[in-house]
Amino acid sequence: MIKERDSVVLTVDLPERRLKSGDVGTVVVVHSDGEGYEVEFIALDGQTMAVTTLSPSQIIALHCNDDPETVALSHNPKFLEIIERSRKRMREESGISSDEMRRRLGLLN
């Protein structure tokens, strides 16, 4: 469960708040046992960009070893659609599998 002071990644664009999927914020308030979160987003210069209330579906908790870009991409519908199209094309056109590419690049043990 996400707690106060946890770092989170935004999973949706919020143009009205000038926030984009992948932006990292800090939870400042947890509402109703996790039904909503007040999240602060800060610019590199330390100025607050936005404080906004978000639903659990709009954020993902970051853990100490997580890469924010990877977390954001793994939940981005457009990116997932591109990956699925690529997989389908590979199946239909008999492209090179990921395992074969790794073997050719010497990345398999």
pTM over 0.85? The answer is: no
User: Is residue 14 domain-shared with residue 61, that is, in the same domain?
Assistant: yes
pLDDT at 107 over 90: no
Q: Which domain holds residue 8?
A: 1-66
pLDDT at 109 over 90: no
User: Is residue 18 domain-shared with residue 59, that is, in the same domain?
Assistant: yes
- pLDDT tens by residue, 10-57: 989 999 999 988 889 999 999 998 899 999 999 888 889 999 999 999
- pLDDT tens by residue, 54-86: 999 999 998 777 777 777 777 777 888 888 888
CATH number of the domain encompassing residue 2: 2.30.30.30
- Whether residue 72 contacts residue 10, with contact meaning beta carbons closer than 8 Å, is answered with yes
Q: Does 71 reside within a domain?
A: no
- Whether residue 10 contacts residue 25, with contact meaning beta carbons closer than 8 Å, is answered with yes
| Burial track 50-64 (b if 16+ CB lie within 10 A, e otherwise) | bebebeeebbbebee
Give me the number of domains the chain comprises.
2
pLDDT at 106 over 90: no
User: Is residue 30 domain-shared with residue 57, that is, in the same domain?
Assistant: yes
User: Is residue 28 domain-shared with residue 81, that is, in the same domain?
Assistant: no
Instruction: DSSP for 32-71, please give it.
Output: GGGTEEEEEEE-TTS-EEEEEEE-GGGEEE--TT--HHHH
- Whether residue 23 contacts residue 41, with contact meaning beta carbons closer than 8 Å, is answered with yes
User: Is residue 30 domain-shared with residue 62, that is, in the same domain?
Assistant: yes
User: Is residue 1 domain-shared with residue 54, that is, in the same domain?
Assistant: yes
